[in-house]
Amino acid sequence: MRSKMGIDILERIKDIDDLATLPSIGVEVMEKAESPDVSIREISEIIHRDPALSARVLKIAHSPIYRRASQHIDTIQKAIMVLGLNEIVNLAATISVLDSFSKRQSPHEEGIRTAFWNHCMATAIIARRLCLTIGMRLQGRDFTGGLLHDIGKLILYEHFHDQFVQAYNISMENNCPMYESELHIMGTTHMEVGQYLAKRWNLPSFLQDIIRFHHDPDRAEHTDLVSLISISNLLAKAKQFACGGDHISIILADQPAWRLMREHGYPMEDLDMERITFEMDDLGAQIKEYISSLSDHQTGEPVQ
């Protein structure tokens, strides 16, 4: 049963005009990429329509996370050749989605924003690492999914700021998950709000699935991908990159996402989780690097 306030918030989101159109280029790129006759030229033409976006994609293509070859990547076409079409599509889409939020910056509660970004980056980096280790073929959806899984929190932060901060504080004080305190304060959750927006923006179904079900992978359609993000989300918290107060202990082997992946034939028993966890000790440095490659100025702001 949804509380009245939950309905209120979803109603009010419908009325927020500037959420309606954004982020056109990101969505266009993703839609184009899904069509069977997609070409490198078409994708680079769409990205080129936004010079700032092109510049940022090129910049990130040089960051250690994406760098595959020592060669200089100076055009979008070249970036697609070197990194692959999927990678560039995901990158462009992610940047353009994230871009659409930063214009209405509240100067307050900078700590929450930082925690939010760090958590999203950590989840994305861990998802990529796990995806490679497990040998899943996800065409970069692992990284995009990690970055955008909590997009609902950003919407709440931007448009229902005071209530969101209140929910955040409660979650920190009581050491409970954000979705519990969100439900308590606002009658809805970041998953629900995120899904609403993802639908409205026509984000690809894999993203809608991740945004809605990363805490409940049993209900997802893209089960493997959502499970991967779900596990990465938990590991990011275990590595102390949480956005909220769930300072938790986790037995990964008992998680629904873990069970699902095992049932789907992934070699979860053989994973050296200790080693993977130890290797994440420099996660903080990796996040810093990624954030600085996303930002135009070295301000730590991911997008301007």
Residues that bind other proteins (CB under 8 A): 234-235, 237-240, 247-254, 269, 272-275, 277-279, 281-282, 285
Contact 73, 58 (CB under 8 A): yes
Q: Which is nearer to other proteins, 152 or 244 (CB)?
A: 244
Cα 149 from Cα 144, distance rounded (Å): 8
Q: How far is the CB of 234 from other proteins (least distance, A)?
A: 8
Q: How far is the CB of 286 from other proteins (least distance, A)?
A: 10
Q: Which is nearer to other proteins, 19 or 242 (CB)?
A: 242
Contact 246, 25 (CB under 8 A): no
Structure tokens that stand for 222 in this block = 């893209």
Cα 201 from Cα 64, distance rounded (Å): 30
Q: How far is the CB of 247 from other proteins (least distance, A)?
A: 5
Q: How far is the CB of 135 from other proteins (least distance, A)?
A: 18
Q: Which is nearer to other proteins, 25 or 268 (CB)?
A: 268
Task: List all residues 6 or more positions away from 115 whose beta carbon is below 8 Å from its beta carbon.
Answer: 241, 242, 243, 244
Query: Given its phi and psi angles, is residue 244 left (phi above 0), alpha (psi -120 to 50 degrees) or beta?
Result: left
Three-state DSSP state, 138: coil
Task: List all residues 6 or more positions away from 117 whose beta carbon is below 8 Å from its beta carbon.
Answer: 291, 302
Q: Which is nearer to other proteins, 119 or 141 (CB)?
A: 119
Residue 139 Cα to chain centre, angstroms:
15
Q: How far is the CB of 290 from other proteins (least distance, A)?
A: 16
Q: Which is nearer to other proteins, 102 or 277 (CB)?
A: 277
Contact 145, 90 (CB under 8 A): no
Q: Which is nearer to other proteins, 207 or 236 (CB)?
A: 236
Structure tokens that stand for 294 in this block = 């996303």
Cα dihedral 118/109/190/206 (nearest 10): -30
Cα 70 from Cα 22, distance rounded (Å): 35
Q: Which is nearer to other proteins, 138 or 280 (CB)?
A: 280
Q: How far is the CB of 162 from other proteins (least distance, A)?
A: 28
Q: Which is nearer to other proteins, 95 or 127 (CB)?
A: 127
Q: How far is the CB of 274 from other proteins (least distance, A)?
A: 4
Q: How far is the CB of 126 from other proteins (least distance, A)?
A: 12
For 283, the enclosing helix (H) or strand (E) is helix 283-294
